[in-house]
Amino acid sequence: MKSQRMRIAIVGAGFAGLNVAKALRKAAVDILLVDRNNFHTFTPLLYQVATCGLDPSDIAYPVRGILRGQSNLRFLLGTVTGIDTDAKTLTVSTQDGATVEPYDILVLAAGAVTSYFGDTAIERFSFDIKSLEGSLELRNHVLRQFEAAAWADDPRVRRAMTTMVVVGGGATGIEMAGSLFELYSFVFKHEYPQIADLEPRIILIEASNTLLAPYPERLRAAAVRQLESLGVEVRLGVKVTQAHPGHVILSDGDAIETHTLVWAAGVEGSPLARSLGVPLERGGRVPVNADLTAVGLDGVYVIGDLAYLIDPATGRPHPQVIPVAIQQAKTAAANIIARIDGRKPKPFSYFDKGMMATIGRSRAVAWPFNRVQLTGYFAWLTWLTLHLLWLLGFRNRLSVLMNWVWSYFTYDRSVKIIIDPAVRRETVEPAAEEIAV
């Protein structure tokens, strides 16, 4: 009698989940891939969707298209609402109701969500850009703010509508701040003559005393210098302590009138990790063994942003970045095959290819392979080239390249449309109260 094929369930179609699925394409296993979206998002460019630089379809690709022809895989569109590690089942909510799916081996690659550090007001009145939906919502909001400012008579009201506050000094924060400033100064000032007299005001706030904490000191200083040369106000060593519909208050007592608060200050593991019933590490991450299996659980692999594993080279947990997720996915797939074949698994070893962040036109910092420190134009070219190569699909690469070339030579951004004017956030409405600053 033929033995039953091993059932592999993968939760999450991000970089980690997709790469596990692709690495198992020739294995004699049956794969179930579950995700609440039917597309994969190239998350490093979400900020460009939010700032009218790219269309959502430029950075999203259908999951079924990516895995087309992989005969050992089924894709289920739904949200995993529960994991029973004893019965080895997943409960998935779909448009047709709940379904229970069995598995022999589980790969949890559910990623991370935005952390507001327990502040419900900040969560309520801010925008996050960790998803395509969030980026579109922010884009709609920014466009509406300028449409409203064009008809506002009170200069103070116009100033609040066109002041943008970005919180978080990591790569996402500085990229968003720089891109918002360029959108304001290169595009909107020419298209909204009513506000042409206003100077762009984009404020980047970071609680620590430095931007890009993992980078060398030279690159951290270069990031601040390039942001300030662009025109962004960089505020270090302060926090947002209060968020309201029409203003935010900082830890130094300063109050900033604004209707746009972009939150890029932290992430935490997906709440789905709690379903495993194991103690979690800092940031809601699941502790894993060297072979990427969850500590205390049999047949459960946790990879990507959700995994907590100390890197022996640094003594710190592996960072929640895409290269880690991809490399962990390949190791997990190899260990699954080894498990099936009765071979010994191999420990995960991370090869750090370096870091980079773009700040604006011809402005960036890059640290390829943690050896060469690049700033300015050459760092920017490095960033552009690698992000084009990392995109999935020729059509996506061509579309992004054309948009970037158009923007570079025309100082314009072509995707300035409000997708759903019926959806409005409380942050859009002008504050009922006025404060003295």
Q: Point out the residues that are catalytic.
A: 175
- What is the three-state SS of the chain? CCCCCEEEEEECCCHHHHHHHHHCCCCCEEEEEEECCCEEECHHHHHHHHCCCCCHHHHEEEHHHHCCCCCCEEEEECEEEEEECCCCEEEEEECCEEEEEECCEEEECCCEEECCCCCHHHHHHCECCCCHHHHHHHHHHHHHHHHHHCCCCCHHHHHHHCEEEEECCCHHHHHHHHHHHHHHHHHHHHHCHHHCCCCCEEEEEECCCCCCCCCCHHHHHHHHHHHHHHCCEEEECCCEEEECCCEEEECCCCEEECCEEEECCCEEECHHHHHHCCCCEHHHEEEECCCCEECCCCCEEECHHHEECEECCCCEECCCCHHHHHHHHHHHHHHHHHHHHCCCCCCCCCCCCEEEEEEECCEEEEEECCCCCEEHHHHHHHHHHHHHHHCCCHHHHHHHHHHHHHHHHHCCCCCCCCCCCCCCCHHHCCCCCCCCC
State the Cα–Cα distance between residues 272 and 295, nearest whole angstrom: 16
CB-based contacts of 132, cutoff 8 Å, min separation 6: 37, 39, 41, 46, 49, 56, 59, 60
